C-alpha cells in the first residue's frame, strides 16, 4: 500500500527502520549528483554531451577506441577525486552507524563507481559495478589504484606486462557483475526487511531487480528520487525529493 501523497512518510519510515533487523540500500548516480558528478541518463555537462555513456561503457568501445574510452574514464576518475561526499552520502553513513549500534544489519549496494560512499564513512559498501579508482591490466588481470594526476599516455600501458593496457576495473555493459557482490546482494534481498532505492532510474539490471524482489517479498520499500521511475508506483513509499535533502531528516529521526 503506497503512502498517500499529502502525508509525510518520514515518521512511518523511521519507525520501520527502528524496528528493522536488516536495512538494505541500493544507490545509483543520483546520490552523487549533488556532489557535482553527472548522472547517466539525466542532463549532462558539456564534456559528456559529445559522448553517450551507453556507447563508451562497453568492451567493444574499448576494443575499437581504447584511447577515447580511457581518456573519458580518466576524466571521470579525476572528477570523482575532486568531488566531495554530499549530505546524502554523509547521512547514509550516519544511519548505518545508528542501525549497527543497536545490533541490526545495514547493507549498502551501490551501482556507483566513485567511492563517495566510502569517503563519507559508510562501511558495509558493495560496489556492484566496480570502482573507477581501480584499473586493471588487460593481460595479467592485476590491479592498481592510479595516482591523482592524469595518465601520461592514452591508452595507458600496463606496468605489469608490456603487451597489456590498463582499463578501469568497472563492469561494462555485457560484462558480468562480481560473483561476490551478487552473492551479498541476493542474500540481503532475502533477509532484509526495509529496502531503499536511492538515486537510480531503476532501468539497469540486476540492481533494478533487487527492489522488485523486495516488493514481491513484502518488505517496506522506499524510493528516493526527484523523478518518477518504473518502480515508483509499486514501492511502499515513493519520495520525490533529492537524497541530500531527505536523508539527513531520516538520520535525525533515527538518532
CB of 134 to ligand APR, least distance (A): 15
Contacts to ligand APR from residues 102-161, by CB under 6 A: 111, 129
Q: Is residue 41 close enough to count as binding ligand APR by CB under 6 A?
A: yes
Helical spans, DSSP H, in the chain:
10-19, 30-33, 46-50, 53-56, 59-64, 66-82, 87-101, 116-120, 179-191, 207-217, 243-254
How many residues bind ligand APR (CB under 6 A)? The answer is: 25
Interaction of residue 226 with ligand APR, rule CB under 6 A: yes
In whole angstroms, how close is the CB of 79 to ligand APR at the nearest point?
15
**Is 56 one of the binding residues for ligand APR (CB under 6 A)?**
no
CA distance 50 to 44: 10
Site string for ligand APR, 161-200 (x = CB under 6 A): --------------------------------------xx
DSSP 8-state secondary structure symbol assigned to residue 233: T
Q: Which residues are catalytic?
A: 129
Cβ at position 137, least distance to ligand APR in Å: 22
Locate 168 and state its grid cell. Answer: 578501469
Q: What is the DSSP string of 171-198?
A: --TTSPPPHHHHHHHHHHHHH-SEEEEE
Residues 188 and 211: their CA atoms lie apart, in Å, by 11
The contact set with ligand APR (CB under 6 A) reads 28-31, 33-34, 39-42, 53, 111, 129, 199-201, 204, 224-227, 229, 242-244
Amino acid at each position: 500500500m503506497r503512502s498517500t501523497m499529502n502525508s509525510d512518510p518520514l515518521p512511518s519510515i523511521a519507525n520501520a527502520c527502528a524496528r528493522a533487523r536488516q536495512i538494505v540500500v541500493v544507490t545509483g548516480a543520483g546520490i552523487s549528483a549533488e556532489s557535482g558528478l553527472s548522472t547517466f541518463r539525466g542532463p549532462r555537462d558539456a564534456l559528456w554531451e559529445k559522448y553517450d555513456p551507453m556507447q563508451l561503457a562497453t568492451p567493444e568501445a574499448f576494443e575499437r577506441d581504447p584511447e577515447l574510452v580511457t581518456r573519458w574514464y580518466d576524466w571521470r576518475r579525476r572528477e570523482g577525486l575532486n568531488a566531495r561526499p554530499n549530505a546524502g552520502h554523509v547521512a547514509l553513513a550516519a544511519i548505518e552507524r545508528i542501525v549497527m549500534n543497536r545490533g541490526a544489519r545495514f547493507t549498502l549496494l551501490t551501482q556507483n563507481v566513485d567511492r563517495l560512499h566510502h569517503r563519507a564513512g559508510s562501511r558495509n559498501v558493495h560496489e556492484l559495478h566496480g570502482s573507477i579508482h581501480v584499473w586493471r591490466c588487460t593481460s595479467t588481470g592485476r590491479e592498481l589504484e592510479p595516482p591523482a594526476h592524469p595518465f601520461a599516455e592514452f591508452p595507458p600501458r600496463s606496468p605489469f606486462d608490456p603487451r597489456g593496457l590498463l582499463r578501469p576495473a568497472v563492469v561494462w555493459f555485457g560484462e558480468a557483475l562480481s560473483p561476490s557482490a551478487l552473492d551479498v546482494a541476493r542474500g540481503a534481498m532475502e533477509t532484509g526487511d526495509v529496502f531503499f532505492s536511492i538515486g537510480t532510474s531503476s532501468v539497469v539490471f540486476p540492481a533494478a531487480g533487487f527492489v522488485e524482489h523486495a516488493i514481491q517479498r513484502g518488505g517496506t520499500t522506499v524510493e528516493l528520487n526527484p523523478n518518477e521511475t518504473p518502480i515508483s508506483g509499486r514501492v511502499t513509499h515513493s519520495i520525490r525529493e533529492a537524497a541530500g535533502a531527505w536523508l539527513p531528516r531520516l538520520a535525525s529521526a533515527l538518532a
